[in-house]
Structure formats: C-alpha cells, structure tokens
Amino acid sequence: MNYSEVLKELENLVTETYSLWDHNRVGFQWRHYTWNHTMRVRAMSIELGKREGGDTVKLEVAGTLHDITKRYDGEILTDENGKRLLSEDGLWLNEPLTPSRENIVTQLYDEHNLRGKVHHESGAVIAEKILGMYDFDRDFVDAVRAIVLAHLKPMNLTEEQFDLLYRNIENQILYDADTMDPNVGYTAFFRNIHIHSYFAIKRNGKFDLEAYVQGLPRFVESKQAFADKLLTESAREVAYARQDRKRELADQLASELSDMPMNRKYGMLGVIEYFVSQTEDPHFMDQVNHLKEDWIPERQKWIAETETTQAARDGAQEALERVIDFTTKLEREYKGEI
C-alpha cells in the first residue's frame, strides 16, 4: 500500500471513530469541530514543518491522529467547590463518555485500559497501535507517538523534562499548531462565535450581535499570552500576524455598528448572523463554502439589481469587499498558509 492510500485510510479511521458517539455538544466542542480542527492543525503543522525544517510526513500522520480519542472527553470534572480537577500533569480532567458503537480504536482503547487518561496519552497509545498495523519503520512510529503525546504540555515541567518531551522539532510544531487553532486568528473567531452564540441562546434565548461585537477586543487581547508562549519562532510569527488580523477585524466590526441595517445585509455583521444561524453543529468548511458559493454571489446580484442609488451601491460593495477579504483569509488560515 502506498503512503497516500495509508493516509486516506487513517483519515477514514479518524472520521469513523468520531462518528461512534451520539452526543453532539460537550463543553466547547461539537460533532464537526474535532474533525475540522484536525484538518486545520495538520495543515498548519506541515507549513510550520517546512519553515522549521521538520519532517512533514511525520507531522501529517501525527496531525491526522492527534485527537483520535478526543470524543471520549465529556464535561470537565470539578470538585464540590466548582474547581476544575487536574491530572498529575496539571491538565483538566473530563468525565469519560462511552461510545455508542465500536471500532478498532475503541477496542484498542479498552484493551489498553486507556479510560481516564487525558487524550494526548491515550491518543499516543492508539496512534502507536494503529501505525503498527502498517508497514512503517519502528522509528517512524515512535516519533509519531511522541508527537501526539507532546501535543498537550504538562504544567510545571522542569527544564530537563521539557527538553526531553520537546527535543524533536516536530513535537514543538504540533503543540504550536494545536494551541494556535482555537486561540488566534479567524479560525479562533469562528470558534468563538459558535461557542458564544450557543451558550447565549441557551441562557437567554437569543444572541446579542451588538454586545458580541463590543466584547471582541477583550477576547482578542485575552489570547495574546497564547501567542507569546508558543515554542517555535515560525509559529510565533504566524500567531502575531493572526492576532493583528483579528484586531483589525474587531475594529472593522465596531465601525460596522454605525450602519447596522446595511452591514447586516452586506457586511461582516451579516456573516456573523449567518454563522449563528447554524449553531447546533456548524461545519467549518461547509460554512466557508457557503459564503464563497452562495452568500457573496447572491449579494453581488442584489447590489446590481436592487440598490438604486450610486451611494448605496458603493457602500454595499465596500461592505461586501470586507466579507470577500475575510473569507479568503479564513480559507488561507484553514490551509495553514497564513
């Protein structure tokens, strides 16, 4: 079997595994999120691998498998005072969720008593066992296992422990890509909208667009520390650019509030409302494709056919240009390019 066939099989195994649970939302995740995130992290890892001189094949395989046991994670466990329970490594512990159906991954999970382990540890074991079924060198399998294990960083590592865990550049790279995806850039903005709106609708029965936009600058700044603490220089460079991009977007959105009717129709405010219209189990690439293939072309037609004055056409076109720029960059982030 050649490499691209093996990779395809691994991808199928991961999506099959994610479909074995019936629940949709848990904490900050939803059914489609984990796979969309996996694809983004993998693409970013490969890009960082090229820049840092890492092994992109190891990164591709490890990126595909890194969250393979993530769907076992239920609600975050807390003690009687509401404090989050931590593993020995200082990582959050989750209530384990039992899958409704089985496959080779769930069988291996049971066989190796992985229940209760944080998903970087269980994922590393599963990755090793699965890759062992193919014709990979022992060194390759060990390297991928180590990359998956290092994608979460234990708290309070000694310098020696840190050097051991992150001695391979690939281990640093997947950690960086995985940390960036939910925290910085338009991908993080997409995730934040879907978390914020889901909980707002659950709590108050509605999503307050204006209040959300006003809170965005604080959200962006709260993520700066993630960018500062990334391990590789290439990742910090990308993360700073993503933070700047998101700051500009927050400013843009704040100015869009001065003409809400127009910008809800043609601008980024309208994009947020479109995202929020599917908040139960949003699919990242489906929503990006919808913007590109339907949402934008439809509005281009409206501008030409229904806006009667030149000033209205110009304003609408300008708003739509912001959406086109946003969509292009969101897709480029998805591919790990920026």
Binding part of the chain for Fe ion, among 67-75, 107-115, 209-217, 270-278 by CB under 5 A, reads 67-75
Minimum distance, C-beta of residue 38 to Fe ion, in the bound complex (Å): 7
Minimum distance, C-beta of residue 71 to Fe ion, in the bound complex (Å): 11
Minimum distance, C-beta of residue 278 to Fe ion, in the bound complex (Å): 22
Minimum distance, C-beta of residue 151 to Fe ion, in the bound complex (Å): 6
Can you tell me which of 47, 55, 60, 67 binds Fe ion, judged by CB under 5 A?
67
Helix (H), strand (E), coil (C) string for 215-269 = HHHHHHHHCHHHHHCCCCHHHHHHHHHHHHHHHHHHHHHHHHHHHHHHHHHHCHH
Residue closer to Fe ion by CB (options 121, 178) is 178
Binding part of the chain for Fe ion, among 51-59, 60-68, 192-200, 325-333 by CB under 5 A, reads 60-68
Binding part of the chain for Fe ion, among 65-73, 105-113, 169-177, 194-202 by CB under 5 A, reads 65-73
- Quickly tell me which residue has 């693409």 as its tokens: 43
Minimum distance, C-beta of residue 34 to Fe ion, in the bound complex (Å): 8
Residue closer to Fe ion by CB (options 181, 331) is 181
Minimum distance, C-beta of residue 69 to Fe ion, in the bound complex (Å): 9
121 lies in the binding site for Fe ion (CB under 5 A)? no
Terminal Cα distance for the chain, rounded: 33
Residue closer to Fe ion by CB (options 90, 297) is 90
Binding part of the chain for Fe ion, among 7-15, 64-72, 229-237, 300-308 by CB under 5 A, reads 64-72
Residue closer to Fe ion by CB (options 89, 273) is 89
Closest CA to 137 of 241, 222, 61: 61
Minimum distance, C-beta of residue 63 to Fe ion, in the bound complex (Å): 9
Closest CA to 270 of 327, 206, 219, 204: 327
Residues 163-192 interacting with Fe ion (rule: CB under 5 A): 178
Residues 211-240 interacting with Fe ion (rule: CB under 5 A): none
CA distance 69 to 113: 13
Residue closer to Fe ion by CB (options 106, 122) is 122
Minimum distance, C-beta of residue 72 to Fe ion, in the bound complex (Å): 11
CA distance 6 to 15: 14
CA distance 309 to 238: 42
Show the tokens assigned to 322: 């912001």
Helix (H), strand (E), coil (C) string for 158-220 = CHHHHHHHCCCHHHHHHHHHHHHHHHCCHHHHHHHHHHHHHHHHHHHCCCCHHHHHHHHHHHH
Show the tokens assigned to 115: 């229940």
CA distance 93 to 98: 15
CA distance 34 to 45: 16
Residues 6+ away with beta carbon under 8 Å from 338: 238, 241, 242, 245, 329, 332
Minimum distance, C-beta of residue 313 to Fe ion, in the bound complex (Å): 44
Binding residues for Fe ion, total number by CB under 5 A: 2
CA 1-129-21 angle, to 5 degrees, is 100
Residue closer to Fe ion by CB (options 45, 106) is 45
Closest CA to 278 of 209, 193, 203: 193
What are the backbone dihedrals phi and psi of residue 151, each rounded to the nearest 5 degrees, phi first?
Answer: -75, -15
Residues 132-151 interacting with Fe ion (rule: CB under 5 A): none
Residue closer to Fe ion by CB (options 106, 183) is 183
Show the tokens assigned to 16: 């099959």
Binding site for Fe ion (CB under 5 A): 67, 178
